[in-house]
Structure 1
Amino acid sequence: MTERSDQPETQRGYGSVKLLRVGPEGAERPAVLAEDGTLLDLSGVTRDIDPGFLATGLEDLRTAYEGGELSPIQNTKRVGAPVARPGKVVCIGLNYRDHAAETKDELPAEPIIFMKAVNTVVGPTDDVLIPRGSQKTDYEVELAVVLKGRARYLDSPGEARDLIAGYAISNDVSEREYQLERGGTWDKGKSCETFNPLGPHLVTADEIADPQDLGLRLWVNGELRQDGSTKDMIFGVDHLIWYLSQFMVLEPGDIINTGTPAGVAMGRPGTPYLRRGDVVEIEIDGLGRQHQRLV
């Protein structure tokens, strides 16, 4: 598989609104990637793609975009995470049947919940740092759901869809020794710095007809390791939002990582874990592509 460029890609056939943030770390600029590949400046609509904008500004975005009010801007080599300052990152474990099978775990009766530190979220082509002393740094391609509304004690999964701002690619990087062999909860194997590359785009929810019918793929150094579909989730997106709302209040800008299909290093005997210099490449249908180098 060939090396990917740092430029965000247009995935034709999945609509025309893709939000992203471009520029140096800490100085990203909000933008829209138009269907023809033009990068349009969102600075006149919002200072950033943050929880406040996701809660109240998406209609202003669409009005400005469809009205031709946004000016082109020159692309930059760096694309940041498409969501700035998320309130929390909630993750779901063992949510694909084939992944549960490869790890020799029973299918969960209810979603398995854990958290990642919010400062794990980095850009889709930023380097991933291997923690000091790590021997088992692993990869996980996941569909990320970003909220635009508050979810608190939802009555049914049917209420969830209207609360979704959009979808993105997430790499739920994990250190398996820290996660599973050092006692306590999973969080310490999930919250190392740079352990959640996100993006390149946040594709608005109305542009994805069915989040339960998306292919997910991940390569390490050009070798296909994961090749699954969101059809195989045990608990679908709407169910997860409803379920989580019974235990915590979800807010605009919160990110939900919805689980990974089979093919992680932990589940493939003899497969090496990630090492310095490895390149991980990820794509999800309609959501673009990301890649990271391990350093």
Structure 2
Amino acid sequence: MKLATINNNTRDGKLVVVNKELTKAVEVSQIAPTMQFALDNWAKVEKDLKSVYENLNSNNVTDTIDFGTAKVLAPIPRAYHWADGSAYVTHVELVRKARNAELPESFWTDPLMYMGASDAFIGANDAIEIENEDWGIDFESEVAVITDDVPAGISPKEALNHIKLITIVNDVSLRNLIPNELSKQFGFYQSKPWTSFAPVVVTPDELTDKWQSGKLNLPLYSTLNGKLVGSPNAGVDMTFDFGQLIAHAAKTRSLMAGAVIGSGTVANQGSPTGSSCIAEVRCLEILKDGKPSTPFMKFGDRIEIEMKDIKGESIFGKINQLVKKYEHK
């Protein structure tokens, strides 16, 4: 099943069911007016939403929307919780190696995670608006899951049953603001603006055998200004699966329905196309040439992020964002 949220001039938008080809959608306000409502009542509404999805794909629905021209918001425009992990420890290892810093052994057994801004997420085609290019604008291509209510102290295996929806995201980072924030030993804040989401989220069954044991085994493509930056397989080199990430987040407190958990930057070790952010590309350049040559994003740059199935069809739709200067209003 594929779901999305389209603009209806409210902050939470309007939930729609989308067909497999991402061409048509149908409103389902009679079942669930918003994504958060659906997640809050998943056990009650899932069957009805799936029925609509099946009828839509069988062309048994007449009152449809052209999804290609719809104003798409983030599938969940604001959430109660957004926690981003760093599941690809090879990525962390590379970044630290580039600055001659050792990787603590605990990083291989205890996930890194930070809590980000969930009061607003932005849509797949919304601009990345940043005030200053000197802040080091970078994209981060990731996989993310959305849960129902997750009890505290859950095991990683049990946590997998609470994953209701899966998507891809662009977790934008302002690299040049990060060192000062981390030096305070209190985590990210200013260096992490709003996160953008692919047009649709899908239920795990939609991914068939490519979703295994909390990992999504497909390449994630990142294209900057028409040039492929990387296409690492999201299921390879993922040290911590999503069950482990959710269990980590829920160690001491429950997670409410609609909690979004990110994988961190997808990366494959030793692959020429294994990177999903500029920072990693620059680290590889430092190790090879002694200095970086690839600049961070500038105003006017365009980043596209997409994942395709084995037939080459887009699963979640494309994140397609222009970097723009933020103007105070």
TM-score, length of structure 1 as denominator length: 0.84
Equivalent in the alignment of 2:4: 20
Q: Please list the CA deviations of residues 245-294 of structure 1 after superposition, one character each: whole Å capped at 9, or x if unmatched.
A: 11332111111111113432223121111110110000123333211000
Deviation at residue 111 of structure 1 after TM alignment: 0.5
Aligned residues: 274
Matched AA of 2:320: H
- 8 Å contact from structure 1 (residues 151, 241) kept in 2: no
**Structure number having the greater helix percentage:** 2
4+ runs of 1 displaced by more than 6 Å?
none
Equivalent in the alignment of 1:49: 35
Answering whether residue 91 of structure 2 is matched by residue 99 of structure 1, we say yes
Answering whether residue 307 of structure 2 is matched by residue 284 of structure 1, we say yes
Matched AA of 2:195: N
- 8 Å contact from structure 1 (residues 178, 188) kept in 2: no
- 8 Å contact from structure 1 (residues 120, 191) kept in 2: no
Equivalent in the alignment of 2:14: 29
- 8 Å contact from structure 2 (residues 156, 243) kept in 1: yes
Matched AA of 1:62: K
Q: Please list the CA deviations of residues 43-76 of structure 1 after superposition, one character each: whole Å capped at 9, or x if unmatched.
A: 22111111x3113222231234335568312444
Equivalent in the alignment of 1:88: 81
Which stretch of the first structure deviates more once superposed, 203-212 or 172-181? 203-212
Mapped partners of 2:35, 2:149: distance in 1:
14
* Cα pair distance change 1:239/1:270, threshold 3 Å: same
For 1:86-165, list aligned pairs within 5 A: 86-93=79-86, 95-104=87-96, 106=103, 108=107, 109-132=109-132, 134-154=134-154, 156-165=155-164
Q: Please list the CA deviations of residues 115-147 of structure 1 after superposition, one character each: whole Å capped at 9, or x if unmatched.
A: 111135110110111134643111100001111
* Cα pair distance change 1:265/1:243, threshold 3 Å: same
For 1:204-223, list aligned pairs within 5 A: 204-209=203-208, 210=211, 211-223=215-227
Equivalent in the alignment of 1:79: 72
- 8 Å contact from structure 1 (residues 48, 84) kept in 2: no
Consecutive unaligned residues in structure 2, runs of 5 or more: 98-102, 268-274, 283-291, 309-314, 325-329
Answering whether residue 298 of structure 2 is matched by residue 275 of structure 1, we say yes
Matched AA of 1:35: K
For 1:248-259, list aligned pairs within 5 A: 248-259=253-264
Which stretch of the first structure deviates more once superposed, 166-175 or 217-226? 217-226
Secondary structure of the structure 1 residue equivalent to 2:115: strand
- 8 Å contact from structure 1 (residues 212, 236) kept in 2: no
Which stretch of the first structure deviates more once superposed, 62-71 or 128-137? 62-71
Consecutive unaligned residues in structure 1, runs of 5 or more: 1-16
Matched AA of 1:123: G
Deviation at residue 40 of structure 1 after TM alignment: 1.4
- 8 Å contact from structure 2 (residues 17, 52) kept in 1: no
Answering whether residue 267 of structure 2 is matched by residue 266 of structure 1, we say no
